[in-house]
Amino acid sequence: MKSIETSEFPLLFKLGDDNSFSDYGTHPGDQIDIRVSARALEGMQKEACVCYAPTGTVWHMLCDEGPYLNGTDLAPFPLAFFTAGVAASYLSELLALARLQDVRLGEVELVQDNYYGMDGSALRGNMQASALPVHVACSAASGTAPEQVDELLKSAVVGSPADALLRGTVRGTFSLTKNGAPLEVDGIEPSVSTRPADPDGSFDQVAPGADSTYASGGIEKLRAADSVFGVEGGAGSSLLASQKRLLHIRAVARLRADGVKSIKVQLFKPIGGVFHFLSDDSRLAGGQERAPSGLAYMAAGIAFCYLTQLGRYAQIVKQQLAGYRVVQDIAFSPPGSMTTGTQVSATAPDTHTFVDTTEDDDLTRKLVQMGEQTCFLHAACQTDNPTQVNPHATATRLDDAAGSGRT
């Protein structure tokens, strides 16, 4: 696949059992290991195969960027994957706790806002991404007291492995392979794990498996971004060499009648599109794996975001970059509802970067360093940002705004 336009497959599908991406061992114990193999396609488009190691399930996902990065807006942007994943993780834990406490919630709606910042100059090398606390609210249609729903949500956040990553201060580790040869990194934490094989050629063999249990329309575009110029967050604005801006992404998550989570994600700043995700719990957590779990979406989002920053930096400084790929490993503990007295946890992403370039070694090292430094989701991993649970009364109002495009 060279581009999304040339693909005959949907934006999301499950691979069959005979694929090379499921050959990934797990850590001892109950840890949830997730490996993301991802590569850049044309422009700002990307593809990834995400292996949920405890069950061996592999999902293929496509990613793009909107007009703000001169993307084609044909697939969700990286932060949409992460935002949807966090929302799905919180909603899964909320529902699990409700079952354990025999609380009947009826129709549930979770509204979540994610914020990030970018400040500095790429040319001077001081451009830096940042992450702010997630804000989340929940409402239920049953007779359950709103205050009880709020308390359930607070417990769900604390018991979610997603929040363990957000409230941690773990810095990712990296290895670098340039034109097939190992190269030491500089200015970032080196990986101590064994370098995996370059996944590039394996992507050419991917196709949907015969499994018909996964839900159709797992990822869909609902509304295109407005391609406007000369305004904040408009076309090409994220490619400026110097920046000081705030990003705002919103997710609205609900539970369908069949138990699959339906999540709508909109990018407000910069000006972006609206995308729809489906999520289901893994078989490990009692789900049917009809769509990726929240943790799988989160892991994919981190890899996609890092790849975007590599491509963006190369464009800004006019650095030659013929191809770039990653193999990223991350692990989470099971959610609190599945354990007794064990605090949830998450590891730092361990990212192996493969770069095809004619640039010298120092410039290649700088590329990888700046990719990490300007990645919003690596910033999220490094920053202690406990999620803020908002009063339930804000949920419906926020959903109306997400549907209409108002902020």
How do residues 172-218 score in pLDDT, each as one tens digit? 999 999 999 999 999 999 999 999 999 999 999 899 988 777 888 99
Q: Which residues contact 360 (CB under 8 A, 6 or more apart)?
A: none
**63 vs 81: CA distance, rounded Å:** 9
pLDDT for the residue 397 = 38
Examine residue 270 and say whether the peptide bond preceding it is cis (omega within 30 degrees of 0): yes
Kindly tell me the sign of the dihedral angle through the C-alpha atoms of 336, 263, 171, 332. Answer: positive
- Could you tell me the two tokens for 5? 């336009």
Task: Give how far Cα 46 sits from Cα of 41, 64, 82, 212, 328, Å.
Answer: 5, 6, 15, 25, 14
Q: What gap in Å lies between CA 375 and CA 234, rounded to an integer?
A: 20
Cα separation values, 180 from 114, 177, 232, 324, Å: 37, 6, 40, 11
The answer to whether the beta carbons of residues 75 and 148 sit under 8 Å apart is no
Q: What is the mean pLDDT of residues 382-406?
A: 61
Q: Could you tell me the pTM of the whole model?
A: 0.94
Domain boundaries, the chain: 63-204+215-404
Minimum mean pLDDT among 21-25, 85-89, 207-211, 347-351: which range? 21-25
Q: Torsion angle, CA of 46/279/288/13, rounded to 10 degrees? A: -30
User: H helices of 131-217, where?
Assistant: 146-158, 161-166
pLDDT digits (tens, 9 = 90+) for 121-180: 999 999 999 999 999 999 988 778 888 999 999 999 999 999 999 998 889 999 999 999
Of the two residues 25 and 220, the one the predictor is more confident about is: 220
Q: Which CATH class is domain 63-204+215-404?
A: alpha beta
**pLDDT tens, residue by residue, 285-336:** 889 999 999 999 999 999 999 999 999 999 999 999 999 999 999 999 999 8
- Burial (CB count within 10 angstroms: exposed 0-12, middle 13-18, buried 19+), residue 327: buried
The dihedrals phi and psi of 35, each to the nearest 5 degrees, come to -110, 130
**Intra-chain end-to-end CA distance of the chain, in Å:** 37
103 has pLDDT over 70: yes
